[in-house]
Amino acid sequence: MIDFIRVDVDGKETEYEAGTTYQDIAEAAQEAYPHRIVLARAGGKLQELHKYAKDGEKITFLTTRDKAGFDAYRRSCILLMLKAIYQVGGFENVDRVSVHYAVSEGLYVTMAGWSSVDAAFLSQVRDAMRQLVEDNLPIAKSSLGTEEAIELFGRLGMKDKERLFHYRRASRVNIYNLAGFKDYFYGYMVPSTGYLQCFELYPYDDGFVLQLAKQEQPETVPAFRPEEKIFRIQKESMEWSRMMNVRTVGDLNDRVVSGGMNELILTQEALFEKKIAEIAEKIASDRSKKLVMIAGPSSSGKTTFSHRLSIQLMAHGLKPHPIPMDNYFVEREDTPRDADGNFDFECLEALDIELFNRNMTDLLAGKAVELPTFNFKTGKKEYKGDVKQLGADDVLVLEGIHGLNDKLSYSLPKESKFKIYISALTQLNIDEHNRIPTTDGRLLRRIVRDARTRGASAQRTIAMWPSVRRGEESYIFPNQEQADVMINSAMIYEFAVLKLYAEPLLFGIEKSAPEYEEAKRLLKFLDYFVGIPSESIPMNSILREFVGGSCFNV
């Protein structure tokens, strides 16, 4: 029997008694880390801190400043909140607590079967959460057979989880238990409630927001600043989900196996087309709008949307001209570089702002202008005779990540611009307590598209994703509320389609690769879905931009 184990902690070999947990080792190592340690990486895998260290392991730690550690903190805060809600309200009185989408730096939560989510009720819940944190109660993990888990969640009234696990291929399910409150969570958790000191609750709309820290400043809860326009479009999408009776992965899987997918796909596409038609009607009703500026984060479907909007504009008697703003990139040698010395294609200065303003000003003045085309292979603009001149019915449809930033179009009259923000804001949840981050949907879209159109591996796309996300946080999201209208391009059925394309690409990442951890997480996520082929997807669908077969040149 081994009495002691020797482990390598951040390059330093140390001896511990057998039966030592990662949490014990983390407490000794905490001084060397600027933020709270919440997870371990050992044996090439992420480990929760309650697990026992093994002899000969190389151990490093993750804090709330690391993405996986930060996600564990946020996930655990949801469990803490749920325990407090049922403790205050009584399990028999609260019909359903649903965690929805991001608002400010938190999550929007609603409660069915509860008369009023007011400040007084939230004050009681907040006090209960803080007491649980002070008591530093363990978040215990156990494993149940899948059938046992289905029975448990059916008994607890968590019907979404009951339905979800009917489609689970694995024989076991991990359950977390906080002071008698049992729930399932997709991903790792912190070991105890004492780790969860950063949160706040705010009444909002029909529910409330669980406000949390930001990854960049994990020890501070930022001020609550909801963005009304993005919230409204997310709420509208949630209403669409309710109307189609597909709010969770289990609902979607039920529809797949019952043979009802064609109707669901066509209904979702019809709702999206109706939204595009409404936007086109707004533009057509004001003939002073000559520059339709479309912006949104990576893989939102900006290009397909610009073409579909153009068709609707033509139906209103206008003559639209879709133009990608990427054609205004500066020459490659003039492209700014980021802190790592790599080309920064996301920043505003990567565009030839002066040329763009000069061309657009001349077009608005009725002049004929030859527009550039950017050659991504040579890194230079080229002129191929693309001459445009705006008449009374002509409209330029410009799409690019900086479309909403007035610094890009500083010289153009405000009355000539109509701004549209598009993003893939996932309206589907795994279940009532496990939301799907919108970034996961966009990342999977990009993995599939990059492999198809650029020959890029999933490993390469995952590796560059943090840089893409930083660009979005700096240049896109701060301007989104300036939009005249917003539209959500997420298709409620899309994960069932993307699954069949993304899984082979993700399986191709070697275990030794730094990106394997993220690939494994995405594969586990996709395992929740029953896959469907893409044959039923219309040729003009946003999703065709990623899986192929579009009737547009995208």
Q: Which amino acid is at 144?
A: L
d(CA 422, CA 401): 10
Residues in the chain: 554
Name the 3-class secondary structure at 144. strand
Cβ neighbours around 240 below 10 Å, total? 18
Give the CA distances from residue 529 to residues 30, 201, 256, 259, 533, in Å, rounded to whole numbers and listed in that order.
39, 32, 9, 15, 13
Find how far residue 27's CA is from the centre of its chain.
32
Find how far residue 506's CA is from the centre of its chain.
18
List helix spans (H) across 106-227: 119-135, 146-155, 159-164
Please, what are the averages of pLDDT over each run of 10 residues along the chain (554 residues)?
87 93 96 97 94 96 97 98 95 90 95 85 97 98 94 92 90 95 96 98 96 96 96 95 95 96 96 98 96 95 95 97 93 91 90 97 96 93 95 95 93 96 95 94 97 94 92 91 97 98 98 95 96 96 97 91
Name the 3-class secondary structure at 26. helix
Cβ neighbours around 305 below 10 Å, total? 24
Do 85 and 78 form a contact (C-beta atoms < 8 A)? Answer: no
Name the 3-class secondary structure at 297. coil
Do 107 and 98 form a contact (C-beta atoms < 8 A)? Answer: no
Q: Could you tell me which residues come within 8 angstroms of residue 533 by beta carbon, excluding any fewer than 6 positions away? A: 497, 500
pTM of the model: 0.94
Do 419 and 484 form a contact (C-beta atoms < 8 A)? Answer: yes
d(CA 50, CA 141): 9
Do 403 and 419 form a contact (C-beta atoms < 8 A)? Answer: yes
d(CA 455, CA 6): 44
Q: What is the pLDDT of residue 1?
A: 56
Name the 3-class secondary structure at 270. helix
On the CB side of 16, CA atoms within 13 Å amount to 24
On the CB side of 176, CA atoms within 13 Å amount to 27
Tokens of 422: 């598009």
Q: What is the DSSP string of 56-108?
A: T-EEEEEETTSHHHHHHHHHHHHHHHHHHHHHHH-TTT--EEEEEEEETTEEE
Report long-range pairs for 407-411 (Cβ below 8 Å, ≥24 apart): 407/348, 407/353, 408/325, 408/348, 408/351, 408/353, 408/356, 409/291, 409/293, 409/356, 409/357, 409/360, 410/353, 410/357, 411/357, 411/360, 411/361
User: In what helix (H) or strand (E) does residue 271 lie, and over which residues does it extend?
Assistant: helix 261-284
d(CA 218, CA 105): 11
Closest CA to 435 of 175, 99, 181, 2: 99
d(CA 459, CA 447): 9
